[in-house]
Structure 1
C-alpha cells in the first residue's frame, strides 16, 4: 500500500505526539511521588543536628531520610542511618492535596561532612551533602538577602547563582523575609525553589517571614491575620520562640554567634520580652538579629517606630552587633547607634542594614540621613558576612560581583 507524503507526515506527527504525551503521563506518575523542594534548615544546635524538608505530590509508602558520613560512604560494609519522616497533608485548593515531609537528623558530630537522601521505598532523591557546624567559636561566612518578592524565577535566579559563585562555601543563607509576593500562592513558592535550584539541598536556608508571607491586613478580619499555611510545611525551623510564633521567631547558635530571628508582623511586645530572656542567657561572642521591617525605615512610603520603642532598648542593653532587615526595597547602612543616636567613634553601637535582592525598588527618604553611613537604591544586592573571633567583615555585592558597600566591626 502506497502512503502519500502528507499521510506519512501525519503518521509520523501522530506517533511523535503519542510518544511525547504518553511519556509525559508516565513521568507525571513518577513525579507525583518523587521528592521535590528539598531544603536544609539549621536547628537550634547545628553542630549536632540538621533539618531537611521535602514535598511530594502523592503520599508514598514510607517517607524517610537516610544519612551517612561521607568518609564512610564508599565502604561496602557501611549502611546509612534511617530517619522516619513527619508528614503533613496540605490542601492547595479543593482538588489538590500535596504532602510535606520533614526529618531532623540528630546525634551528628560537629564539623563533619555528611551525605543524605530523602524519599520512600521506590523513589529517592539523589545523594546530597552538608557539613555540620563546629561546636566552638570558629571563623565562618554566611550570606544575607533582602526582599526577593517579584519576578522570582526570571530575575532572582541570577542573584542566587552569582552569590553561590562568589561564596560557594557559605555556612548558610539568611533571608530577611518576602521571599514571595503572595505567601498562599503555591506557584510562587515553586518559582522560589526553581530559582534556587539544588543550592538549598546542600546549603541550609534560615528564613524569617515578611509581610508578604502574611495576608494583606487591610482586607481581612483581625482573627484571620495569620502566617501563610504554606510557611511551616515548607521549612523545619527552630521552635524555641514565643508561644504561637514558633518557626517564625527563633534563635540559634553558630560557631560563636547568637542569631535571633524576629517577626515584625505581630505580637511585638511579646517578642521583646522573649528577646530579653534569650539575650540575658547568651554566652556567644557575637549577636546578630534579623527582622523584615526596618527599625529605621528609609522608605518614603512608611515610618514605623514601634521597634525603636520595644526592640532598641534591648539591643542596646545586650550590645547587639548587627541587625539585618529588608522591606524598604532599597539599601541602607547606619553608623553604629545607641539610644537612636550615632555613637562617638570607637564606642560600641549597633549597625542596622537594609538590603534588597529583587527587582522592585522604592524611593528613599532623607528622614534618617543623620544616622546613615550609606544609602542607595535600584540595584539587586547580596551580602557576604564573615565572622572571626574579633572581627566581623561585611561586604555587599551587586549582580556583577562588584563591591557595593563594606565595613568591619571589631570586638
Structure 2
C-alpha cells in the first residue's frame, strides 16, 4: 500500500474521532432548546445515557463483524448507522423518537470508536509510526471536544438545535466514500468465533432496567421501582451465567479476578459519571438559571477540556514525587470539593463558579485516568 493511500485512509478514520468528539459535547449545549421544543425534562439524562449504552453494547459486536466480514465493511456500516441516526435525530418531533434514534447513533458510534484502532494496527505495523498516528488521533478527538461546545452553541443560536445532528452527516459521508475508494481490506484467515448475542442482550436489558429504576425513584411507587430493580438483578444474573458458558464472552469473567483492575474500572465509572453529569447540567444551569445564550452555556465546557489536557500532561511529573495512590487520593478530594460546591450552590451561583467546577472536574479526569491505567 502506498503512503498516499495510507494517509488518506488515516484521515478518513480520523473523521470518526471528529464525529464522536463533537457528538459527545455538542449536544450538551443544545439540551435546553431540545427540552423546550420536545418537552420531557425527565428524559434529560437518557439522551446521554442511551447513546453511551448503544456504544458500550455494540463495540465488541462490531469487532466480531469485522473479523467475519472485514473491517472495511464493518466500519462503513457503523458510519452509515451513525449517519442515519444523526439524520433521524434532527428530524425527530417527539422525545421518544429522539431517544430511539439516539440509541441508533450510539450503536453506530460503537464501531466508529473501536474499528479504526484495529485498522491502524494493520496500516502501521511499525509500533513507532503507529504511536505517532495514535497521538494525532488523540489530538483530533481533543480538538473536537474543545470546539464542540462553541460550535454547538453558535449553531443553536444561529440556526436550530436540529443542526447539531445534521452537521455530522457530511462528515460521515466523506469518511464512508474515502474508505470505499482508498481502503483495500485484506482478508485474513481468522477463526470466526460465535458472537455473544445473549450476553449483549442481557447486558442491554440489565442496564436499561437499572437506569429506568433509578429514574423512577421518587416519581413512581416504591413497588414499581423495586420491581424494575429486581428485573435488573435478574438480567445481571443471566448475564453471569451466559458469560461463563460463552465461547467469546462480551464481558470476560477473568477480568474480575484482577482486583486492581476492578478498582480501576470502578474509579473510571465514578469519574465518568461525575464528568457526564457536569457536562449535561452545567450548560442547562447557565442557560436556564442565568439566561445566557447557548454559546455562553456551551463555554462552560471549555475550561474543563483544557485542564483535562494539562492534568494528563502533569501526571508524569507528579508521579516522580508521589505515588499513584497519593496522586489519585489528593485529586479525588479536590474533585469532591468541586462537586460539593456545585451540590450546595444557591440558585444564583455565579458563572465563574461553574467554570471553576469545570476546571476541577477536567483536571481530575486528566490526572486520575493516567495513574489508574499506569
TM-score (norm 2): 0.26
| Structure with the largest fraction of helix | 2
Larger Rg: 1
| Structure with the largest fraction of strand | 1
Structure with higher RCO (Cα < 8 A, 6+ apart): 2
